[in-house]
Amino acid sequence: MPLRVTFVAAARSSPLLAERFEDDRPLDQAGWGEVERAAQELLPLAAAELRYCSPTPRSRATGEGLGYAPLVQLALRDCGMGRWRGLTLGEAMAREPEAVDAWLADPRATPHGGESLVDFITRVGGWLDTRPVDDGCRVVAVAEPSVIRAALVYALKAPPSTYWNIDVRPLSTTSVTGRGGRWNLRFDGVSAQPSRA
C-alpha cells in the first residue's frame, strides 16, 4: 500500500484580498470559528501515524484546534518573499509593478530578493519525497494554501506556471499517494452508488 499524505489547508486569518506574503498573523476569531465548525469532519485525520504543520501561527493553531498535535516542519514554510514579506500583492504591485510582473511571469525570478517559485516548489517537493515509506503509513500536514499548491505542482510534475491555477480553500483537504518521486493526486469523497431498478 502506498504512502498517503493528506494536506489540510490552514484556516484563514484575513479576507483573501488582505492576505500577506509570509503572513505570520495568528488566527482571528472568524478563523477559530471555521476550525470549530470543521473539527468534527477533520478529526478522523488525527489517526494518521505522522502529523505535521507549517511553522506559521495559523497552521500550528489550526492543527492544534483540530486535535492533531502536529510537529512543525520548517520545509513547509511559505515561499521566502524577501522585501515583500508582510505586504499584500496589491501593496507590492503599487511599490514595484515591473518587479511583480516579472515575478508572476518567470517562475525562476526573484525580484523581491527572496526565493523563486521553482525553488519553493522544489523545497516542498523535497519534503514530500522524504516522508517515511512504511507500507500503509498515513501522514497529515496542516499547511498554508501556497505550500499545498507547491506540493501539488511537484507531485503532478506540472509546469511551475500551474501554481497560479490551483485554488486551495481554507480547511480543505487534498491527498497524494505514492512515494518519493512518484505521486498521484487522490480525490476522496462519497461515490454515487448506482441505483437498482
Boundaries of every domain in the chain: 3-186
Residue matched to cell numbers 518521486? 181
Distances from the Cα of 46 to the Cα of 1, 14, 137, 170, 180, angstroms: 20, 26, 13, 18, 23
Q: Tens digit of pLDDT for each residue in 92-136?
A: 999 999 999 999 999 999 999 999 999 999 999 999 999 887 766
187 vs 84, which has greater pLDDT? 84
Q: Quick one: which of 59, 58, 53 has its CA closest to 75? A: 53
Average pLDDT rounded to a whole number, residues 155-181? 94
Cα–Cα–Cα angle for 51, 1, 46, rounded to 5 degrees = 20
* Contact between residue 177 and residue 3 where contact means Cβ atoms under 8 Å apart: yes
For 3-186, CATH number out of 3.40.50.720, 3.40.50.1240, 1.20.120.530, 3.40.91.50 equals: 3.40.50.1240
- The mean pLDDT of the chain is 90
Q: Distance between CA atoms of 67 and 46, rounded to whole angstroms?
A: 6
pLDDT for position 143: 97
Task: Report the C-alpha gap between 127 and 76 in whole angstroms.
Answer: 8
Q: What is the pLDDT of residue 195?
A: 43
**Cell 483540530 appears where?**
66
- Three-class secondary structure of residue 104 per DSSP: helix
User: Per-residue pLDDT averaged across 35-54, rounded?
Assistant: 94
Q: Which residues pair with 183 in a beta bridge?
A: 178
- Cα–Cα distance, 143 to 60 (Å, whole number): 9
> Residue 139's pLDDT is what?
95
As a whole number of angstroms, the distance between CA 152 and CA 31 comes to: 24
Q: Which residue has the higher pLDDT, 72 or 29?
A: 72
CA angle 125, 129, 133 (to 5 degrees): 155
pTM of the model: 0.90
Is the pLDDT confidence value at 190 over 90? no
